[in-house]
Amino acid sequence: MKRVTLEEVARVAGVSRATASRVVNGAGTVDEVLRHAVERAISSTGYLPNIAARSLVTRRADAIGLVLPDEHRMLGDPHLGSVVSGVTRVVRPRGIHLVLMMTGPGTREQALSDLRCGRLDGVILVHTDPADPVPGQLIRAGLPVVLAGRPWQPMPITYVDVNQSAGGALAGERLLSLGCRRIATITGPQDMPTGRDRLRGFLDVVPDAVVVHGDFTRQAGMAAAHELIARCPDVDGVFAASDLMATGAIPVLHRSGRKVPDDVAVVGFDDSSAALTCEPELTTVRQPIADMAEEMARQLLRQIADRTAPVTSVVFEPSLVVRSSG
C-alpha cells in the first residue's frame, strides 16, 4: 500500500523512466506498444500520477479557495455548511480541491500569493469590509475571483447575490397581509449593501415603519427589541433583517409579556438553521444559499477555463417561507 513510484511502473513495463513519464503526462510521441505496456503497468501496480508533476505541465493547481470573513463572524454563521456543500457539489466531481481560508492576519494576502504562484486557480471571496483592497487587487491582476454578494462599490467583478430589496419587500407584504398596523424593522448594518438593500425594499412597502438599527447578530436583535419596546410599546409586527436577530428579539418580546405571533408577528431573513431552532419556528425570507454557492463555483470555473470570460453577475430571487412566528 506504499505509494507506487514511476520508477516501479517503468520497471514493470520494461521501459525507461522517461518513456513512462511521457505516457503519464499524455505526450503523443510514445510508440503504441510501449504505451500499452506502461498503461498495463499503471493498472497492475496501482500507480497514481504525482499531481505536483502534472501541475507543472497543466499550470493548474486544481484547487480553489473559499475566503471567509473573520473567525468570530463565521463561528456564528449558520450559512457556512450550505455554502460549503453547494461549492463542493460542483468541484468534487471534477477532482478540484476546496481550500478553506479564514480571514485573519495575512489570509487575504496569502490567497493572493497562492493565486500568483499557482497553488490556487481562483478564489470565492465572502466580502465583508469595504476598505478591503483584495478584490481590487485580484481584478487588476486578472486573477479568477467571484464575490459572494454585490460589491460595496461598483467594480468589474463577477458576483452572485440574492435580490435583497425584493426580499425586504416580501417581509413587508407578509406583515401587512397579517393585518399588522404598527410595524417595525430591525435593520442590518447600513454600511453594507445587504443591510441597506433589505431596508430599502421593506420601506418601499411599509414606508411608515419604525426603524431600529442592528448588525445581523443575535445580540443586536436582543438590544433592538428592548429599544423597540421602549419606543413603540404597541408594536404588532417586526421584520428582523436576519434570522439571528429574530432569535435574539423573540425571547425579549416574550419576557415583556408579548406573545409571538399572537401579539407581535415576527419575520426573519435568511432561512438559515437558526430559523428552525427558534421557538416559535421563524417565518422568514429564504435565500437559496446552496444554489447560490453552486453558481459561484460554476462562475469561477468558467473564469479559470477562460481568463477572458466576461464579468457576469447572477442574482437569485428570494421566497417567503411561512412557519409559526408571523
Grid cell listed for 130: 469595504
Contact track, a copy of itself, 280-319, x by CB under 8 A? x---------------------------------------
Q: Does 55 sit near a copy of itself (CB under 8 A)?
A: yes
Contact track, a copy of itself, 190-219, x by CB under 8 A? ----------------------------x-
Contact track, a copy of itself, 108-127, x by CB under 8 A? --x--xx-xxxx--------
Q: C-alpha dihedral over 272, 278, 284, 290, to 10 degrees?
A: 10
Out of 34, 178, 276, 314, name the contact with a copy of itself by CB under 8 A.
276
Query: Residues 275, 281, 287, 293: is their CA dihedral positive or negative?
Result: positive
Out of 42, 80, 292, 301, name the contact with a copy of itself by CB under 8 A.
80
What is the C-alpha to C-alpha distance for residues 235 and 265, in angstroms, rounded to an integer? Answer: 9
Nearer to a copy of itself, 256 or 273 (CB): 273
Which residue in the block uniquely carries the three cell numbers 511521457? 22
Q: Does 14 sit near a copy of itself (CB under 8 A)?
A: no
Closest listed residue to residue 35, CA positions, set 51, 46, 50, 22:
22
What is the C-alpha to C-alpha distance for residues 146 and 212, in angstroms, rounded to an integer? Answer: 32
Q: C-alpha dihedral over 258, 262, 265, 270, to 10 degrees?
A: 100
Neighbours of 310 (CB within 10 A): 9
Interface residues with a copy of itself (CB under 8 A) are 1-4, 46, 48-53, 55-56, 61-63, 66, 71, 74-78, 80-82, 84-85, 88, 92, 95, 97-102, 104, 106-107, 110, 113-114, 116-119, 137, 140-142, 218, 244, 247, 250-251, 254, 273-274, 276-280
